[in-house]
């Protein structure tokens, strides 16, 4: 009888605990299940977005290739601009959107439309999650500003930039900007800094710029 009472007491204790805590336990389980399902749904959405963005970017590459290989009747450029717009509007969180903006900036430069190129590069600078890509977009923006004769704007862009992925290229461009501003001594220092980390392919041009300034000072 004592054992029976003990079992009955255990059952009553379980019932009492369930009455007090059962609802909270079920709610916790429901929240946990919903969290798992939500995470899986989010992962699936990201995967689908990445796949769709990749397909759209490949279509953009094909459109740009056609634009370069054949005379543009307006349709090729319209297609390329549409696809780049889709990437930026619908897949801005993917790296493909920034790559598309960089590609369209190159197309605009080839067409001589530097303002349109700057618009695309600005988008990449503001939206790219990849730091190296962002720095490349910044470098190209500054180059275009200098090409447009706006050395002050180019200098401002470079001053705000983090250049750890393109040290030599940034230092070289700073030298070019300083030359345009008539700051010869500072330009030489910038070229010297560029030479410290320049690749073998870059060194001859940078060295020539540096030496030209030295010759100008001697004359």
Render pLDDT for 168-214 as a digit per residue (tens, 0 to 9).
999 999 999 999 999 999 999 999 999 999 999 999 999 999 999 97
* Res 50: pLDDT: 79
Same domain, 94 and 65: yes
Residue ending a domain, choose from 96, 129, 162: 129
Q: 117 and 68, same structural domain?
A: yes
Q: Is the pLDDT of residue 37 over 80?
A: no
Q: How many CA atoms lie within 13 A of 159 on its CB side?
A: 8
Residue 108 and residue 171 in one domain:
no
* 76 and 155 fall within a common domain: no
- Pair (41, 112) in one structural domain: yes
Average pLDDT over the chain reads 84
**pLDDT for the residue 42:** 47
- If asked whether residues 106 and 165 sit together in one domain, one would say no
Which one is predicted more confidently, 218 or 118?
Answer: 118
- Identify which of 116, 108, 19 has the alpha carbon closest to the alpha carbon of residue 64: 108
Whether 75 and 154 map to the same domain: the answer is no
More confident residue, 47 or 127: 127
Predicted confidence at residue 163, as pLDDT, reads 77
What span, in angstroms and rounded, lies between the C-alpha atoms of 194 and 167? 7
Residue 214: give the domain boundaries. 150-219
Cα 87 from Cα 62, distance rounded (Å): 15
Is 110 a member of any domain? yes
What three-state secondary structure class fits 113? coil
The count of domains in the chain is 2
Domain identity same for 42 and 106: yes
Same domain, 104 and 171: no
Give residue 68's pLDDT. 82
Give Cα separations from 177 to 132, 137, 184, 206 (angstroms). 22, 17, 10, 14
Percent of the chain with pLDDT over 70: 76
- Asked whether residue 21 is assigned to any structural domain, the reply reads no
For residue range 131-160, what is the model confidence (pLDDT) as tens digits? 999 999 999 999 999 999 999 999 999 998
Reduce the DSSP state of residue 1 to 3 states and report it.
coil
Which residue is it, tokens 């190159």? 106
pTM: 0.75
143 versus 36: the higher-pLDDT residue is 143
Is residue 155 in some structural domain?
A: yes
Residues 44 and 104 both lie in one domain: yes
The pLDDT assigned to 4 comes to 44
Tell whether 134 is covered by a domain.
no
157 plus 210 within the same structural domain: yes
Lowest mean pLDDT among 9-13, 20-24, 64-68: 9-13
Q: Give phi and psi for 77, each to the nearest 5.
A: -65, -35
**What's the confidence (pLDDT) of residue 27?**
67
- Domain ends where: 80, 97, 129? 129
Same domain? For 160 and 192 the reply is: yes
Instruction: Output the pLDDT for position 51.
Output: 87
Mean pLDDT value of segment 119-141: 94
pLDDT at 139: 96
Domain annotation covers residue 74: yes
Asked if residue 178 lies in contact with residue 190, where contact means CB atoms within 8 angstroms, the answer is yes
Residue 136 forms part of a structural domain: no
The verdict on residue 171 lying in a domain is: yes
Residue 140 lies in a domain: no
Q: What percent of the chain has pLDDT over 90?
A: 61
In this structure, are residues 190 and 197 in contact, taking their beta carbons and an 8 Å threshold?
no
């Amino acid at each position: 009888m004592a054992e029976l009472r003990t079992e009955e007491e255990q059952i009553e204790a379980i019932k009492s605990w369930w009455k007090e805590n059962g609802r909270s336990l079920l709610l916790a389980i429901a929240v946990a299940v919903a969290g798992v399902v939500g995470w899986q749904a989010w992962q699936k959405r990201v995967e689908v977005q990445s796949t769709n963005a990749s397909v759209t970017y490949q279509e953009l590459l094909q459109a740009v290739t056609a634009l370069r290989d054949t005379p543009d009747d307006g349709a090729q450029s319209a297609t390329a601009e549409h696809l780049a717009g889709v990437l930026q509007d619908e897949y801005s969180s993917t790296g493909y959107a920034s790559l598309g903006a960089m590609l369209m900036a190159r197309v605009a430069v080839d067409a001589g439309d530097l303002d349109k190129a700057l618009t695309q590069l600005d988008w990449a600078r503001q939206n790219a999650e990849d730091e190296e890509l962002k720095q490349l977009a910044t470098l190209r923006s500054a180059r275009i500003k200098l090409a447009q004769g706006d050395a002050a704007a180019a200098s401002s862009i470079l001053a705000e930039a983090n250049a750890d992925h393109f040290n030599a290229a940034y230092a070289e461009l700073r030298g070019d900007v300083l030359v345009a501003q008539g700051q010869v001594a500072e330009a030489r220092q910038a070229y010297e800094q560029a030479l410290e980390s320049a690749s073998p392919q870059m060194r001859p041009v940078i060295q020539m710029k540096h030496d030209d300034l030295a010759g100008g000072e001697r004359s």
